[in-house]
Amino acid sequence: MDTVIVTGASRGLGRHCAMSLHERGYRVIGISRSVKGDTPYEIRSADVADSASLSKALGDLKRDKSVYALINAAGIASMNLVITTPAETVRKIINTNLVGTILACQLVAPAMIRRGSGRIINFSTLGVPLAIKGEAIYIASKAGVEGFSRAFAREMSPHGVTVNTVAPGPIDTALIEKVPRDKIDAVVSRQIIERQAEPSDVWNIVSLLLSAESSMISGETIHVGGA
């Protein structure tokens, strides 16, 4: 049975992906800072921004050839202007979204290299191409994820591993629950497809990138909703 590791698996898009993977017969190992409620898949507690914590949670998988994919869905945001964003908040966003993605890739990639195939899917945001006011720190972290993913894709290509980024617009998850409706609508109106995406829209892209037929897709950022 192929193993897929999903960070941020206890809520939002991470949970939706983990549930969809479980329903399709994958062994799912979710990573979350806190375990809330029952899930039909395994959850391991770790902070993706903490290398020691993440290594403890995933260390046993470094040489496990059953590891087929890594989905980095863990992420946080703090909608605020740059000049009014506390330095600690800046560090927390960058460390969780960018550094956490890099650390997870470092830990899981060796298993895929040993296997000779694999899929890595990282998450960004439509906010990068749309340059949304009030999201500069969050956008900076996700732009870093996109650049990292493109370069990492070249490193992993000789080993049969693809690395891609999925960048959705606003979706009704905990990430945007405190954002006013008018601001959400303003972002959606700038998308090529002017409607708010559902988690299933994102899963459709993720499932494509996980498939064997996607072996020629790597180093790409796919914008869900269009920019």
| Per-residue pLDDT, 60 | 95
Domain count, the chain: 1
**Rounded to an integer, what distance in angstroms lies between the CA atom of residue 53 and that of residue 55?**
6
Question: CATH number of the domain that 167 lies in?
Answer: 3.40.50.720
**Rounded to an integer, what distance in angstroms lies between the CA atom of residue 226 and that of residue 192?**
5
Average pLDDT of the residues of the chain: 94
Question: Containing domain of residue 44, as a range?
Answer: 3-224
68 is catalytic: no
| Per-residue pLDDT, 155 | 98
| Per-residue pLDDT, 107 | 97
| Per-residue pLDDT, 179 | 75
| Per-residue pLDDT, 149 | 98
Low-confidence ranges of the chain (pLDDT < 50): none
| CA-closest candidate to residue 202, choices 143, 121, 140 | 121
| Per-residue pLDDT, 198 | 94
Beta strands in the chain (DSSP E): 3-7, 27-32, 42-45, 67-72, 118-123, 161-168, 221-224
| CA-closest candidate to residue 183, choices 199, 198, 197, 170 | 170
Catalytic residue among 26, 41, 68, 138: 138
pTM reported for the whole predicted model: 0.95
| Per-residue pLDDT, 219 | 98
Q: What is the pLDDT of residues 58-108, one digit of tens each?
A: 999 999 999 999 999 999 998 899 999 999 999 999 999 999 999 999 999
